[in-house]
Amino acid sequence: MRSSEKLCIALRHAAPLKNAAWLWNALRPIYDRIIRISAHAGLERVINGTDRVLVLPEVRGIAETYEPEVWRRVMAQLQSTGRLTEEYRKALALSYFTLAQNYYDRDQDAFERLIAKVLRLEPDFTVSHSRLYALARKVLGIRRAEALASWRRRFLGH
């Protein structure tokens, strides 16, 4: 959720303004229009702290926490209806990989969980960071390649 959305929600639920229905009824159409224009490609939500999805502005109130079983069912439903296309799977795997990179130095368990999701979605996952990374990935595997990339980011500032 964007910080601007969080701010608006906090203002809406702040004690002095909480019961100002007349104000929110007047502002809601303006807010809705701003959201529709600024988020025409969708609003990002991070489901269960791992899955990045874009939702339509009309359903912006969607919760970001689901029971893992419910989320598995959602993903299974997407797959069974043909909506979990190869392109979508690759994009989802890349999203997981980007998240995994962010966790590498801070939380190895989270990194491992995310990399497992990447490889479940795309067993032959590749990323085009550089030829050197691609070679390390091919020779050493994704985990060791990321270890080298992490070292490079920390010590060389790239």
Domain identity same for 112 and 150: yes
Report the distance separating Cα 156 and Cα 158, nearest Å: 6
Domain identity same for 3 and 62: yes
Residue-range definition of the domain harbouring residue 70: 1-83
Domain identity same for 17 and 46: yes
pLDDT recorded at residue 48:
67
| Tokens describing residue 125 | 């996952």
Residue scoring higher pLDDT (40 or 26)? 26
What is the rounded average pLDDT for all residues in the chain?
A: 79
Residue 98 has pLDDT above 60, yes or no: yes
Amino acid identity for residue 95 in this structure: S
CB 42 within 8 A of CB 54: yes
Domain count of the chain?
2
- DSSP 8-state class, residue 92: H
pLDDT recorded at residue 4:
74
Domain identity same for 5 and 34: yes
Domain identity same for 44 and 119: no
pLDDT digits (tens, 9 = 90+) for 40-92: 777 777 776 767 777 777 766 666 665 666 767 777 787 788 777 888 888 88
CB 31 within 8 A of CB 8: yes
Neighbour tally for 69: CB within 10 Å: 8
Neighbour tally for 150: CB within 10 Å: 14
Identify the sign of the CA torsion 106, 108, 113, 115: positive
